[in-house]
Chain A
Amino acid sequence: MTLTVENLTKKYGNTTVLNKITGTFSEGKCYLLLGENGSGKSTLARCLAGDEPYDEGTISLKQDTIHFSDQIALQYQDFDSYPHLKVKEVIQLFRQLITNPFHTDELEKILDMDTFTNTLIKNTSGGQRKAVSILLAFLLNKPFILLDEPFADLDLHKKQRLADFLQRQVKQNNKCLILISHEITGLEDLFDYVYILKNGTFIEQGSHTELLQKYPDNVFPGLAGVYFEVTGKTLKEMTG
């Protein structure tokens, strides 16, 4: 299954946030969306997830009998829902609302969920809420999963374990992962294809290897160097 985006345009009033975006996202691959704050990454994610209407262009699946947004799980940056339920109760509730939920045991261990499973959502920290959000995105068991800064707030060891887990979901379970992340150092093997956004347009794209070959003499190593060459900014500046 391939998700195709053609000439996608999104405007807020007179401001064009996405300007004729065209790209494809296929199952069994992991995509990285890079771009500074306000470049349109999150808007693109919300359009792909069907949360945001768009003005022009199309988003379609090759299997046109299914609506694209039914096949996409979006991990929102935060999870504020059900503030008076415990983390384990929220997970249990969602598990019962999904006909064929994903088995999240491994992910729960990676995200250290057992340390705060009995905490009410309203009492959890930002990092813990993000962990709940990531877990629920997988629990939905959709072929396309959009993750918004999944590595933020994680220590190096957990980052690596999560990256290994994500890679297995792509290779073994044929998932399509679309990641918005500026924390990519040491995790670059995870990404099959990279889109770099600026002012609502893809200004550069290609596979990891293609981009490294295209921009060989970089100040910074790996994709961070490619990003700097293309945008003139460091990845740290990406989050503002």
Chain B
Amino acid sequence: MIVSVAKGYMLETLRNFGVLFGNILPPIIFLICSVLVKSFLDSPETVEFMIKGQFLPISILLLLFSFSLSSATIYLAELKAHKTFHWLKRTDVSPFIYFLGMGVGVFLFMNLLLILLLIGYAWVASISITSFLMIHFICNLILLALYPASFIIAGIVKDEKVAQSLLVPGMIILMFSITMPSLFLTIGGANPQDYYIFLSWNPMLYLFDTLHAQLQLIDHTWLNLYHYALILIGFSIIFSILAKKIYNR
């Protein structure tokens, strides 16, 4: 049953060209920008800093947001609007199996695109194998934390249009609450990590900080990686419990 649900989700996502293109394009745009910057700027150090400090993290944040939260939320909201859950509740598939099945689809899409994106960036900036693997690992932890949140959002909205309109401010908050303070604090000569406690509610913080450490932009992460793993698993458990409560209503 898990395989059937995953296959159904993946086929629908692949055939929904508009949504698929919309999800893939933003991270690719930043990769294209990196290639262009590298081609036109003569200062290799500045280019490397720009790519690692801005383009690569934003690309990955967008990719993760699109595939672990946005596309799953819209898909679920569409299922809800079309009364698919009324049909599904009469089958023998449990909500948990459906959650896992869709999760497999989301996991495969996100990982495939992440590998391609990182290979693309490895072509324009130096990324070691260890960094490659560590980035991959933290991205999967973020996926684990954000994926159940898609069930919460889809559970409270009426249809995919409402979901989409909620996701836009959601994306802005999740992404810019991390990148902007970090940028301005650095410009102001302050250490952004001193203020991370105020942003610890945002799962993207742990990705952003790990990325900067893995790309040698900072010496060390705010907390240890295993702390991040525990926090993100905690997020995942809390979101899963909330999602279960919403779907049991």
What is A's interface to B at a CB cutoff of 8 Å?
Answer: 49, 51, 70, 72-74, 76, 80-85, 89, 92-94, 96-99, 120, 136, 140, 142
Contacts and interface: CB of A to CB of B under 8 A. Distances in A.
18 contacts: A49-B86, A74-B86, A76-B86, A80-B83, A81-B79, A81-B82, A84-B16, A85-B12, A93-B4, A93-B5, A96-B1, A96-B4, A97-B5, A97-B91, A98-B92, A99-B92, A120-B15, A140-B91
Interface in B79-109: 79, 82-84, 86-88, 90-93
B234 interface: no
B82 A73 contact: no
B170 interface: no
B22 interface: no
B237 interface: no
A84 B12 contact: yes
B84 A140 contact: no
A94 to B, nearest CB: 6
Contacts of A76: 83, 86-87
Contacts of B92: 97-99
A74 B86 CA distance: 9
Given A96-B4, A97-B1, A51 B86 contact: yes
Given A97-B92, A97-B93, A140-B91, A82 B12 contact: yes
A99 B97 CA distance: 14
Given A49-B86, A84-B16, A85-B12, 16 more contacts: A72-B90, A74-B86, A74-B90, A80-B82, A80-B83, A81-B83, A81-B84, A81-B87, A82-B12, A83-B82, A84-B12, A94-B91, A97-B88, A97-B92, A140-B91, A142-B90
B143 to A, nearest CB: 23
Contacts of A80: 82-83
Interface string B115-159: 000000000000000000000000000000000000000000000
Contacts of B44: none
B87 A136 contact: yes
> Which of B86, B90, B92 has the most CB atoms of chain A within a 10 A radius of its CB?
B90
A83 B88 CA distance: 15
Interface string B173-208: 000000000000000000000000000000000000
